[in-house]
Structure 1
Amino acid sequence: MAAVRDNSWPEAEALLAALSPAMVALMDELPGTMFCAKDVTGRYVAVNPVFVARTTERSRRAVVGRRAGDLFVPQLAERYEQQDAEVLRTGRPLRGELERIRRLGGTAGWFLTAKLPVHDDAGRLLGLVSVSHDLRAGEADDATMASVSALVAALEADPAARWTTGLLADAAGCSSATLERRVRRVYGVTPRQLVLRTRVDRATRLLAAGEGTLAHVAAASGFYDQPSFTRTFARLTGETPAQYRRRTAR
C-alpha cells in the first residue's frame, strides 16, 4: 500500500479520495521512478518505495505526514518546496523539469520531474502529485546507440560550442527528427536538454577539481556568463556553484 490513512488528518483524506487507488498502487511497481502525493500544507500523503529509499528514513510510515525539510538535505528540500509552491499557486503543472539529484550513496544522477495539482469535484485545490524518473540509458538498436554515442562524444569534446539543432543532428549523423527520437529513446530528454545536462556535468567536474574561477568554469562549460551559469546550475542541482565547490572540493 502506497499511502497511510488517518482520520484525524482531513487534508490527507481529501487528497487520497481524489486519487485513483489503482494509480497509487501502480506507483509501487515503477523501479526507477520516485512518486509522492502532498497535501496543501506540504505534508507527504502517499509515497512509493523508490521515494522512501531517497530519504533519510527507511519506511513509508516514517515518511508519510512529514515535509521535505524533514527528509532531504536543505538544498533539495528548498528546491522541492519552491516547485510545489509554484504549482499550488498557479495551478499549472510542472513538466519535463531536468534535475541533477544525488542518489543513495552520494552518487549523482539525472531525473525528469513532473508535478500536477489535484482538485476535488468542486474544484477545490487538495494538493499535488509528483513523479521523478531516473534517466538511465535504456535498450536501443545499434544504429541508435552509435548515433547517440557519437553525439555525446562531440558534446563532451566541446560543450561550449554553439550547438544548434542542425549541428547536433550532424554530430549524430542523422536528421533532426531522427535525432529527437533517438535521444529521447536512450536518455528520456530532448537534444537541448542533453546539451544542458552535458554542460552541467562538465561544470561539476571542474568545480570538484577546484579548477579556475567560477567565471572560468562557466565559460569552459558553455554558459553565456557567470550569472546565467549560477542561475541554471542552482535551478538544476539545488545548490549554487560556490556551494557545490565547497561541498566537493578535494
Structure 2
Amino acid sequence: MVNPQTFRDQFLKRLDNKLHLEELFNYIPDAHFFAKDAQGRFINISQTWMDVRAISKEEDIIGKTDFDIHPKDLAQQYVAEDQRVMQSAKPLPNQVWLVPDRHGNLKWYLCSKIPLFGDGGKVIGVAGVLRDIKVAGSEFQSYQELDKVIAYVLEHYRERIQISDLADLIFLSVSQFDRKFKKLYQITPQKYILRVRINAACQSLTRTEKRISEIALESGFYDQSYFTKQFVNLMGISPSEYRKKFKQSETIS
C-alpha cells in the first residue's frame, strides 16, 4: 500500500508551479479546503475540514475517495461535479451542497472548485473550499430567508411535514416556495426532507440497536416497506445491509 505522505508528495510535484492551492481561498475566506487527484482521491485537506468530519489525522483521509467517507448518493454528486470542473477546466464557484458533519447531521455549504493543472496544462485534479451558508452572512441573503424552513425540517422531520406549512413560514405560496427552494439548493423541498430523514436513519442504524421498524418510525416514515425502498434508492443498499457494513466502523457518541 502506498504511503499517504509519499502519495501526496508525488502528486504535488506534478502541479504546475504557476498555480498555488492557496489561490482558491481568494473565492471565500475562512473556508474548509480540499484537493483531489483525477481519480477523486484526496491529496490535501485543511485542519478545519478535518475538524468538521472528525478526522484525527491526515493519514485517515489521504488517498481515499468520497465513497469511502460519505453516503453513496452524496458521494456520487460530489464526484460528478468534480468531473464537470475537470472536463471544463474552469472554476465553478458557490455551488450549494449538503455535507454531513462529525455527528452525521446534514448541513448546507457553499462550495467553490477549481481545476488543478499539471505539466503541459493537463488537468490532473480538482481543489475546493466549503463554507457554511450561515457563516456566509449577508453575502447570501437569499439563503438566510430560508433559514426558518431548514431549521423547521431539522427539528420536525420525525413528524408529517406539509410543504404548504413550510411555505407559510416565509409567507410564500407553495409554487413560489418550491421554485425558490429548488433555485437555491438544486433540490426539491420534498427530496430535502427525504434526505434528512434517511440521514437520521443512518445514524440510528450504526449507533443504536433499535429495530429497523422502530428506526423507520422515528425517522418520519410511517410505512417500513416505503422506508426500505427509499433507503435503497438513496444509499444503494438496504437498511440491514447498511447496518452490517458500517456498524463496526462507527462509534456511538
**TM tier relative to shorter chain:** 0.5 to 0.7
How many corresponding residue pairs?
A: 192
Greater shift in the superposed pair: 127-136 or 219-228: 219-228
**Distance in 2 separating the partners of 1:11 and 1:68:** 18
Contact 2:104 2:199 in 1 (8 A): no
* Amino acid paired to 1:20: H
Question: Structure 1 residues 189, 200: closer, same or farther in 2, change over 3 A?
Answer: farther
Which residue among 63, 66, 86 is the counterpart of 1:68?
66
The Cα shift of 1:87 comes to 0.9
Distance 1:98 1:189 in 2: 14
CA contact (8 A) 1:55 1:72 kept: no
Call closer, same or farther: CA 1:94–1:208 in 2, change over 3 Å: farther
Match in the other structure for 1:103: 101
Pairs within 5 Å for 1:17-166: 19-20=19-20, 23=22, 33-55=31-53, 57-120=55-118, 122-136=120-134
Shift of 1:32: 5.4
Report the identity percentage: 17
Structure 2 residue aligned with 1:224:
175
Between the aligned partners of 2:128 and 2:153, the Cα distance in structure 1 is: 28
TM-superposed CA distance for 1:235, in Å, is 4.1
Q: Quickly say closer, same or farther: Cα 1:188–1:42, change in 2 above 3 A.
A: farther
Cα RMSD (Å):
4.0
Query: What is the CA distance between 1:96 and its match in structure 2?
Result: 1.6
2:190 pairs with 1:192: no
**Corresponding residue for residue 245 of structure 1:** 197
1:28-69 deviation digits (Å, cap 9, x = unpaired): xx9953211111111111111222233464210121111011
Deviations 1:192-240, CA, capped at 9 Å, x for gaps: 232345444444445443234xx54664465527985678656499x64
Task: List gaps (5 residues or longer) in structure 1.
Answer: 138-183
> What's the TM-score, normalizing by structure 1?
0.58
Q: Give the TM-score, by structure 2 length.
A: 0.58
Partners of 2:71 and 2:41 in 1: CA distance = 16
Q: Distance in 1 between matches of 2:7 and 2:98?
A: 37
- Provide structure 2 residue ranges, at least 5 long, that are not aligned to the other structure: 201-218, 221-253
